[in-house]
Homo-oligomer: A and B are copies of this chain.
């Protein structure tokens, strides 16, 4: 028990350190030596927990992606009305992107650069299935426009990445009122 916890401890510290360094300085300025130092560990120790740097990055990506997906579907269940279900998921994602800033920023970076191995990136996509199912239902009920999942995603979830980036740069937080308006725009974009 204790042993397991300790292992997780250092592993987590390493993942956290990597997240911070890659976010703030980019992959190319996040050397293993600095990651180790920030995690309070010797460089060689990294290799007890990860095969190499690429494995470290891939693991971080999958870890963060999993936490994101878990967040996205909190309180959601199949069978809810389409708009209600969509609202729940959308606000969950908004909360994650606008509060867990470091994690969300890192995901943005991974999705827009080739730093993650392709196979790993694809694995990260599978978590969104419930949302895709919901959209399918919405299309059948003619509540949602007959658009591909890609386009629906592009106009509802993806804009949140931009709002996150803006929020970070301007050091201001999107308040509840703005968030409601943003949701309305997302819904207007895809509703029939």
Contact = CB atoms under 8 A, between A and B. Distances in A.
Q: How many copies does the complex hold?
A: 2
B108 A185 contact: no
A32 B13 CA distance: 33
A16 B154 CA distance: 29
A185 B111 contact: no
A181 B155 CA distance: 12
Interface in A140-192: 145, 147-148, 150-151, 153-155, 158-163, 165-166, 178, 181-182, 185-186, 188-190
Interface residues of A, number: 37
A147 B111 CA distance: 27
Contact of A28 (B27, B155, B189): B27
Contacts of A166: 150, 154
Interface stretch (A42-50, A64-72, A74-82, A112-120): A112-120
Contacts of A147: 181, 185
Given A112-B165, A151-B159, 14 more contacts: A109-B113, A113-B113, A145-B181, A150-B162, A150-B163, A150-B166, A151-B181, A151-B182, A154-B162, A155-B185, A159-B159, A185-B189, A188-B188, A188-B189
Interface of A: 23-28, 108-109, 111-115, 145, 147-148, 150-151, 153-155, 158-163, 165-166, 178, 181-182, 185-186, 188-190
